[in-house]
Chains A and B, each alone.
Chain A
């Protein structure tokens, strides 16, 4: 088991190296001179030359890359061209917002998707199954930006019960410990702030959770249906166990493992893929940060942001695989 974990981590290194290389060249290939953009509109040629020198854009490309790697290894991510802020500080601000949103979305997705899949699996082909499967098919095909706009319209115009934009006042007023505002507010025992931030979280999390919810429901259904056809389930039934016990203790326990893997993959994707949801709900997260950096040709932010997302994606996938291996007794990893 330990050997497997070590090997998986070792395998991560060349991938991340490749990611850094690709990211570096992606940014290099982007049109426009970062130094000119950084210098502003009416900058003198000397200023631009100075900035070029500072960004090492006047050095040969391989040297630029090697020194960039050195900077990253030392934890120096440079400054944003737009805000002139240390990129690390920006990450500290934007990443927790995305993590909070992704966690909330995943919680909703699991809380609804997995039970829905279980209920559907009880009688494959029955009307409950047909209904759940149809809803899941629609969910998988849902353009989330459209769903977000529809909910915004419904909630902003007809039933104004939930806020439709931003993170709420607590995000800026509560002392940040974890960066997850709801949690921070609870830690500070400010329950009205916690409720306020939770209310801001509901709508974006629901929209972001829609697709994973549908994917999880489908996955749970199909793996539990498969498990219900196994010999050990027949044995359990033959022993006279109640059907709910058979379903939950015997079939679901085994059928849940693939669901776990899919949940991990989906969560990893949400960490970097919430661009559309964050845009619609003005949620100050990493996805939005990166899109704005693309528009502003903010080189350092782009390099750091893309690397950060690839790293968190890889780590979540690694964790998922390790968890899967740990939970499934059939897998013996040396």
Chain B
């Protein structure tokens, strides 16, 4: 390969990126995500107040030059907590989606490739998980594991597993029967190689789409759990928990609530906008102008657990 000629995947990535950049909605999404990723990266390094140290004399102060977003019930700077919370919320989203993708992906690969009883058992298990509304499942998982931020990540991850499993299984089923897979099998390649080197790459585009939309719901769901007191525990600066504790001050200190909620909304919006555009760019079968499969599959693909309400 000559220098200056990007490799094929890099080219594809650049093409996808330029398509995302052309659409105003996904451009907004990319900008939002860039801002939040930057805040997560540099936020904690900025010369801000300690986000957890209490300063009771300064409690419940309205926004001012000293405290841009005011102070909370323990006198902590809301702006500092908001910035530190960025890292927490993004981490929660990525870990939860990672859990869902890895476990769901493995189930999807196995059920789709081996078929037979593996498929029967695996997909029945996924059906059972899908029989619970997402939040409820997450609440039950947290109840078993105990309320904490890491357990909330696991709970939200578990909720996503059946959705990723279904998507990967569907791709495996279409790829498995294609001639080049037959050829590889005929040449005697080991199954593991066929599965992970030949079939898996073909499952990645729909998985990427689902992951981007899944990040949006995961962040929303995890914030909801923390809001209920089932996720991040005090004094962790997490957006949902900030809302949960600030709830009592809704009348007298509304500034505690406005910024964390807006931050959740904008992050989730960013992932949703990028996810929608990725879906149109990468997966024509799922795009709105090319609907071929059932609306059930679509709604499942588009929203792992929009039922968090």
Point out the residues of chain B lying under 8 angstroms from A223, CB to CB.
291, 295
> In the complex, what's the smallest C-beta–C-beta distance from A136 to chain B, in angstroms?
10
Point out the residues of chain B lying under 8 angstroms from A211, CB to CB.
306, 309
B264 CB–A CB distance under 8 Å: yes
B307, A270: Cβ atoms under 8 Å?
yes
B227, A225: Cβ atoms under 8 Å?
no
Q: For window 119-154 of chain B, which residues contact chain A by CB distance below 8 Å?
A: 124-125, 127-128, 131-136, 139-144, 146
Q: Which one of B93-101, B160-168, B184-192, B268-276 is at the A interface?
A: B268-276
B132, A142: Cβ atoms under 8 Å?
no
User: Of all chain B residues, which has the CB nearest A309?
Assistant: B136
A143 CB–B CB distance under 8 Å: yes
Within 8 Å by CB of B288, from A141, A145, A225, lies: A225
A115 CB–B CB distance under 8 Å: no
Max chain B C-beta neighbours (<10 A), residue from A211, A268, A269, A314: A269
B254, A219: Cβ atoms under 8 Å?
no
A156-B250, A290-B139 given; 13 more Cβ-contact pairs under 8 Å: A22-B128, A141-B216, A142-B265, A143-B220, A149-B257, A226-B288, A258-B298, A261-B296, A265-B296, A270-B309, A271-B133, A276-B224, A302-B140
B223, A219: Cβ atoms under 8 Å?
no
B282 CB–A CB distance under 8 Å: no
Q: What are 9 of the A-B contact pairs (CB < 8 Å)?
A: A15-B127, A30-B143, A137-B273, A141-B265, A149-B243, A153-B254, A208-B309, A258-B298, A273-B309
User: Of all chain B residues, which has the CB nearest A271?
Assistant: B133
Point out the residues of chain B lying under 8 angstroms from A68, CB to CB.
none
Chain B interface mostly: helix
User: Of all chain B residues, which has the CB nearest A11?
Assistant: B127
B25 CB–A CB distance under 8 Å: yes
Contacts A208-B309, A272-B133, A276-B309 given; does A141 touch B272 at CB 8 Å? yes
Q: Give A residues with C-beta under 8 Å from B.
A: 14-16, 18-19, 22, 26, 29-31, 105, 133-134, 137-138, 140-147, 149-150, 152-153, 156-157, 208, 211-212, 215, 219, 222-223, 225-226, 229, 257-259, 261-262, 265-266, 268-277, 279-280, 287, 290-291, 294, 302, 306, 309-310, 313-314, 321
B2 CB–A CB distance under 8 Å: no
B309, A15: Cβ atoms under 8 Å?
no
Question: In the complex, A289 Cα to B260 Cα: how many Å?
Answer: 27
B247 CB–A CB distance under 8 Å: yes
Point out the residues of chain B lying under 8 angstroms from A302, CB to CB.
140, 143
B309, A144: Cβ atoms under 8 Å?
yes
B307, A153: Cβ atoms under 8 Å?
no
Contacts A14-B124, A211-B309 given; does A275 touch B136 at CB 8 Å? yes
Q: For window 231-287 of chain B, which residues contact chain A by CB distance below 8 Å?
A: 240, 243, 247, 250-251, 254, 257-258, 260-262, 264-265, 268-269, 272-273, 276
Point out the residues of chain A lying under 8 angstroms from B228, CB to CB.
275-276, 279, 291
Within 8 Å by CB of B131, from A15, A30, A134, lies: A15
> In the complex, what's the smallest C-beta–C-beta distance from B232 to chain A, in angstroms?
14
User: Of all chain B residues, which has the CB nearest A278?
Assistant: B309
> In the complex, what's the smallest C-beta–C-beta distance from B152 to chain A, in angstroms?
13
B308 CB–A CB distance under 8 Å: yes
The 3 closest A-B pairs by CB, nearest first: A269-B307, A146-B261, A258-B295
B45 CB–A CB distance under 8 Å: no
B295, A146: Cβ atoms under 8 Å?
no
Contacts A270-B307, A294-B139 given; does A31 touch B251 at CB 8 Å? no
> In the complex, what's the smallest C-beta–C-beta distance from A112 to chain B, in angstroms?
16
> In the complex, what's the smallest C-beta–C-beta distance from A314 to chain B, in angstroms?
6
Within 8 Å by CB of A310, from B132, B227, B272, B306, lies: B132
B299 CB–A CB distance under 8 Å: yes
Question: In the complex, A30 Cα to B147 Cα: how many Å?
Answer: 12
Point out the residues of chain A lying under 8 angstroms from B268, CB to CB.
141, 143
Question: In the complex, A313 Cα to B136 Cα: how many Å?
Answer: 12
B299, A314: Cβ atoms under 8 Å?
no
B54 CB–A CB distance under 8 Å: no
Question: In the complex, A26 Cα to B129 Cα: how many Å?
Answer: 12
User: Of all chain A residues, which has the CB nearest B288?
Assistant: A222
> In the complex, what's the smallest C-beta–C-beta distance from A283 to chain B, in angstroms?
12
B306, A141: Cβ atoms under 8 Å?
no
